[in-house]
Amino acid sequence: MIDNQQQTIKEWFDYTYLTRGEMYLRPKNAYYIFAELLQIKPNAKLLDVACGLGRMLEIGLDYKAQCSGVDISSVAVETAKLKLPEANIVEANAEELPFKDNTFDFVTCLGSLERMIDKEKVLQDIKRVTTSDSRICFMVRNSNSWRWLITKKLFLTVNKKGHQDAKNYQQWKALFEKENFEIVSCIPDQWPIMRILQILTFGTFKGYKNKQNSFTPLQYANEFIFILKKN
């Protein structure tokens, strides 16, 4: 069942992918860090929740994982399926994942959980479809970042149709722990600064792949990268 608010979110993403396509997302090389943090192994089963155009699934395939993805946008799913026929990509709401219990070794959900209406339900369903020793990676927006504060307070430009939202570190931590996930690690997303360094060095700077290169203090991170396991 898809209600009005969910339909608005879906339509906003369909329109965004139709009009902006690949330009809407970070480039592929910004996604390797998630595979490195998770230590994805060949043949492991990876699910990317809210997979968009399949950027993370491309990385999963590079790591020789068996890749599945879901997204609510039919435009995203059709595009990703054409691009990545080796992956199993389906149109679905993350609140009701169309997979059996205990299926996946790794789950990623990048820049998307804050967009979802019933986050508890999403977390419960991710828990259901993952194995007991699985690792789960969420990249989620920080409400204490300068970028979010400027966007929200100064320019009042938070995107309601795309359900843009954010929480601070304590709030994300409380949500994950309430749903019985243990936090293995949390680092600041470094893409904004890495992008500047890449531009300044004409693409020769490759530091982003190295998770030790942390320039931003966690509390001011634009987004948090959480690695979780099930309790």
Ligand X SMILES: C[S@@+](CC[C@H](N)C(=O)[O-])C[C@H]1O[C@@H](n2cnc3c(N)ncnc32)[C@H](O)[C@@H]1O
Provide the binding-site residues for ligand X, judged by CB under 6 A. 9, 13, 25, 50-52, 55, 70-73, 76, 93-95, 110-112, 115-116
Nearer to ligand X, 72 or 186 (CB): 72
Q: At closest approach, how far in Å is the CB of 129 from ligand X?
A: 14
How big is the CA angle at 214 (ends 114 and 120), to the nearest 5 degrees? 20
Strands 45-49 and 66-71: parallel
Q: At closest approach, how far in Å is the CB of 31 from ligand X?
A: 7
Nearer to ligand X, 115 or 127 (CB): 115
**CA distance linking residue 28 with residue 70, whole number of Å:** 18
Structure token pair of residue 94:
């993350």
Q: At closest approach, how far in Å is the CB of 182 from ligand X?
A: 23
Name the residue whose CB lies closest to ligand X: 52
| HSE toward the beta carbon, residue 84, CA cutoff 13 A | 24
Q: At closest approach, how far in Å is the CB of 134 from ligand X?
A: 18
Nearer to ligand X, 35 or 110 (CB): 110
| 142 phi and psi angles, rounded to 5 deg | -95, 120
Map tokens 């509390």 to a residue. 219
Q: At closest approach, how far in Å is the CB of 194 from ligand X?
A: 15
Structure token pair of residue 92:
């679905």
Per DSSP, the three-state class of 39 is coil
Nearer to ligand X, 74 or 214 (CB): 74
Nearer to ligand X, 118 or 182 (CB): 118
Per DSSP, the three-state class of 83 is helix
CB 188 within 8 A of CB 224: yes
